[in-house]
Structure 1
Amino acid sequence: MSELLNQAKTLAPEIVRWRRHIHENPEVSAVLPNTCAYVTAELRKMGYEPYEVGGGVVAMLDGQPDGKVILLRADMDALPMAEESGEPFASKNPHAAHTCGHDTHTAMLLGAAKLLMDNKEKVKGRVKFMFQPGEEGYNGCKNMIADGLLESPHVDVAFGMHSASASDYRTGTVLYSTGSYAASADAFKVTVHGKGCHGARPEEGIDPINIITHIHLALQTINSRERNQKEPLILTIGQIIAGDACNIIPERGYFTGTIRTFNQQVREHAKRRFIEIVNGMCATFGGHADIEWTTEMAPTINDPAVTPELLGYIRELVGEENMAEVPASMGSEDFSEVLLNVPGSYLNLSFGSKEEGYLFGGHHPKIRHNEDALPIGSAIYAQVAIEWLQHNN
């Protein structure tokens, strides 16, 4: 076992303490005052001088002030739901819970910050720690980038991890993809305006329900007739809302959904055709539409040059037997915004398999995480930073 992993395991009680405090006190959205204050205070105890960027927390470690910069990222926000895990440190907030594991991400990165500060002489460059709010659909990553995250100093490479419970692999296994990690996610709300009237006199109105049903059917042709069939694409309409009574044609209705793909060109084509079909169908039946993109998230693509290098450093730490290549996910991850600007990589770390009794995955109210993975994650963050800087400065 490496010296770094030994140090992380010694630090494990502290990492667990951080994780449980954050887990008990979840906050939702891009505004996380208590979580940010807690992370800031813990970083200061380690000797950092953290500062606010785009609603998140950033800290710098200058091992070699004129060296290159690696960014390590963790997200901090919870989900707006009740927790049913049964853990003694379950959420104290009945309306918020860390059911996506961002508490584990934050704790692991705090652990890495401590490890790297303790091993500062090995850091042959600069490490930028990114503690991000608002990953769950609140544009948290975009906000931090817009506020200068990737500059002052300029970031050369970036790395992040996501905890994975109910995995097919035992706790501590590194789950990686060498190309696509996660799909894009473009969520939409389309309001279709017609003309309300009595249901007995439909000729006096313009029926938005009729328009929406035609739009729904027509949108399916993007996938079945226009897409390169070798490239996955999901277009889901998950909600249609219109009308208040059985005998009234409403004035308007709306529908919501999402478009997901691994390919940026497929994404752009699907969104363009979506707009054309919606507006075309509305024009055909005499209505009009307001199209709102409520979330726009690019696919998360691991850099083909950087990823094998970083995986090599991780393999040296955990061993080949604790590495597994897995397919990309049709879920989404807003770290994609960093990877659009900076070469880097993102992967999963198993926090419990079904065989080990961890039966529920992300966003489930009963999800639990095996805390034995926490020090492994902290050591991975630190290993990646130390080794990449040593080999690239």
Structure 2
Amino acid sequence: MEKIEKWISNNKDIEQELIRLRRHFHEHPEVGHPLPQTQEYIVKLLEMYGYENIIVNPGGSIEVLVGPHDKKILLLRSDMDALPLVEHTNLPFKSINGSMHACGHDMHASMMLMCAKLLKKNEKKLKGQIKIVFQPHEEGLVGCKMMIEDGVLKYPRVDAAVGLHVMPATEDKTGTIRTIRKAMTTASTIFEINITGKSSHGSMPEKGIDALRVAVHIYQQLQEIIPKEISMSHDDVLTIGIMNAGKAHNIIPEKAYMKCSLRSYRPDDQEYIMGRVNELVQSIASMYHAQAGITILQQAPSVYNDPALLKSIMDVEKDVFGGYIKKLELPLTISEDFGHITANVPSLFVTLAAGCKQDGYIYGLHNKATIFDEGCLMYGLYFLYNAAMNWNVKY
């Protein structure tokens, strides 16, 4: 395979097409599931590339197969959903529909589409079969699970999987690819707390049960769990991002609502912390004569990189990427529902630097002002393409 710099230099036409794809996705973002416009666009292009048996699953994922049948199958996965953010950039192709690709899924989808095109064009050179999958609703941490329930890993059975995620505002030069053995991201649990008290006039608080008061005490006590009960070396994070109660200044609120997320690398920490959350919520509500319930909304396990698969793939990629391949020093604190795949088949997940801070790319993921360096696209594409072309050859 050609070295990365030479390959990019020799394929400027591919780069321009890749950028056009990315800008289309960026200008037309859709959130969650379903993603009708995004799905229609991807299916149309896959048909143009020569794919015939295109499957659109009930859960909204799109899948195609390329390469010889009755061979081991490598799954390449891309997400394609956006975030409910109003974009605040000056890009000429910025979104104007109230949503935004602030997590780079437009980059992922465009790289995967172009990879699908190249693999179809070079299908006779493939020694193994490649399953290409486009996934909705990653941001809700449910899309991957829905995809698996639709049989993506079984029909036909997948032997290994590869995914990537762009990262802006890094210290690395654009195009740098990083990964780490074993746990790469945190596991995540998203949950809500609903508190019910009793409303009364603000001048007669003794006749009511203040749900907001209960929520405030719950908030304070939940913040004590990790620093006082968990080793500081475990890097667990509990975030209470939403707390709502009341609609008038002179009414004791009957209802209060909290939405929270827990991130941790250790399953036993997740279990312990959620157990303590439940204990504290129930005891505090009871102490103030209120009622409270906890509902788990979404969960995703940690993304786990299979050591053997990582070594075999990265050894091959180093031959063409050279110094652009680097070890990730510490696992990422973000969560990714690709963890549902890594829990089922040997997998590799990598990050792709999409803008260095020193070059002005100062906003990270999920920011309304985030800008990604499109120069990373060819690096990510070539990484995926190489992984596919060497499947069932060198690993």
TM-score range for the pair, normalised by the shorter chain length? over 0.9
Deviations 1:118-175 (A, max 9, x none): 2223321110101011111161111111111111111111111111122111111112
In the alignment, the residues of structure 1 paired with residue 303 and residue 331 of structure 2 have an alpha-carbon distance, to the nearest angstrom, of 9
In the alignment, the residues of structure 2 paired with residue 223 and residue 103 of structure 1 have an alpha-carbon distance, to the nearest angstrom, of 35
In the alignment, the residues of structure 2 paired with residue 244 and residue 365 of structure 1 have an alpha-carbon distance, to the nearest angstrom, of 28
Structure 2: give runs of 5+ residues left out of the alignment. none
Structure-1 residue corresponding to 2:30? 27
Change (3 A) 1:96 1:305: same
User: What TM-score comes out, normalization by structure 2 length?
Assistant: 0.92
Is contact 2:141–2:337 with CA below 8 Å preserved after alignment?
no
In the alignment, the residues of structure 1 paired with residue 203 and residue 347 of structure 2 have an alpha-carbon distance, to the nearest angstrom, of 61
Change (3 A) 1:244 1:199: same
Q: CA RMSD in A?
A: 2.0
Match among 328, 348, 351 for residue 348 of structure 1: 351
Is contact 1:115–1:379 with CA below 8 Å preserved after alignment?
no
Structure-2 residue corresponding to 1:146? 149
Match among 100, 115, 119 for residue 116 of structure 1: 119
Structure 1: give runs of 5+ residues left out of the alignment. none
Task: Map residues 76-95 of structure 1 onto 2, 5 A cutoff.
Answer: 76-91=80-95, 93-95=96-98
In the alignment, the residues of structure 1 paired with residue 248 and residue 93 of structure 2 have an alpha-carbon distance, to the nearest angstrom, of 46
In the alignment, the residues of structure 2 paired with residue 198 and residue 367 of structure 1 have an alpha-carbon distance, to the nearest angstrom, of 45
In the alignment, the residues of structure 1 paired with residue 11 and residue 155 of structure 2 have an alpha-carbon distance, to the nearest angstrom, of 30
The letter for the 1-side match of 2:319 is E
Q: 2:71 aligned with 1:67, yes or no?
A: yes
Deviations 1:327-359 (A, max 9, x none): 222221111111111110111111221222322
Partner SS, residue 388 of structure 1: coil
C-alpha displacement of 1:8: 5.4
Q: 2:190 aligned with 1:179, yes or no?
A: no
In the alignment, the residues of structure 2 paired with residue 188 and residue 86 of structure 1 have an alpha-carbon distance, to the nearest angstrom, of 35
Is contact 2:177–2:324 with CA below 8 Å preserved after alignment?
no
Deviations 1:291-317 (A, max 9, x none): 222332222222233222222222122
Is contact 1:8–1:115 with CA below 8 Å preserved after alignment?
no
Deviations 1:171-201 (A, max 9, x none): 1111222232222222222111112223444
The more displaced of 351-360 and 39-48 is 351-360
Structure-2 residue corresponding to 1:276? 279
C-alpha displacement of 1:3: 7.0
Structure-1 residue corresponding to 2:330? 327
The letter for the 2-side match of 1:69 is I
In the alignment, the residues of structure 1 paired with residue 99 and residue 335 of structure 2 have an alpha-carbon distance, to the nearest angstrom, of 20
Task: Map residues 177-326 of structure 1 onto 2, 5 A cutoff.
Answer: 177-326=180-329
The more displaced of 288-297 and 31-40 is 288-297
Structure-1 residue corresponding to 2:61? 56
In the alignment, the residues of structure 1 paired with residue 266 and residue 315 of structure 2 have an alpha-carbon distance, to the nearest angstrom, of 26
In the alignment, the residues of structure 1 paired with residue 230 and residue 41 of structure 2 have an alpha-carbon distance, to the nearest angstrom, of 47
Is contact 1:8–1:376 with CA below 8 Å preserved after alignment?
no
Change (3 A) 1:32 1:246: closer
The letter for the 2-side match of 1:2 is E
Is contact 2:32–2:137 with CA below 8 Å preserved after alignment?
yes
Change (3 A) 1:166 1:172: same
The more displaced of 119-128 and 98-107 is 119-128
Is contact 2:199–2:208 with CA below 8 Å preserved after alignment?
yes
**Percent of matched pairs sharing the same residue:** 36
Deviations 1:278-298 (A, max 9, x none): 122222322211222233222
The letter for the 2-side match of 1:152 is Y
In the alignment, the residues of structure 2 paired with residue 209 and residue 121 of structure 1 have an alpha-carbon distance, to the nearest angstrom, of 65
Change (3 A) 1:357 1:204: closer
Is contact 1:197–1:248 with CA below 8 Å preserved after alignment?
yes
Q: 2:104 aligned with 1:101, yes or no?
A: yes
C-alpha displacement of 1:10: 4.5
Is contact 1:30–1:139 with CA below 8 Å preserved after alignment?
no
The more displaced of 22-31 and 287-296 is 287-296
Is contact 1:199–1:248 with CA below 8 Å preserved after alignment?
yes
Structure-2 residue corresponding to 1:37? 40
The more displaced of 50-59 and 295-304 is 295-304
Structure-1 residue corresponding to 2:339? 336
Is contact 1:315–1:323 with CA below 8 Å preserved after alignment?
no
Partner SS, residue 327 of structure 1: coil
In the alignment, the residues of structure 2 paired with residue 99 and residue 221 of structure 1 have an alpha-carbon distance, to the nearest angstrom, of 32
Change (3 A) 1:361 1:219: closer
In the alignment, the residues of structure 1 paired with residue 380 and residue 367 of structure 2 have an alpha-carbon distance, to the nearest angstrom, of 22
The more displaced of 221-230 and 353-362 is 221-230
Structure-1 residue corresponding to 2:2? 2
Is contact 1:193–1:289 with CA below 8 Å preserved after alignment?
yes
Partner SS, residue 393 of structure 2: helix
In the alignment, the residues of structure 2 paired with residue 44 and residue 278 of structure 1 have an alpha-carbon distance, to the nearest angstrom, of 53
In the alignment, the residues of structure 2 paired with residue 309 and residue 78 of structure 1 have an alpha-carbon distance, to the nearest angstrom, of 33
The letter for the 1-side match of 2:365 is G
Deviations 1:372-392 (A, max 9, x none): 221221111011122232134
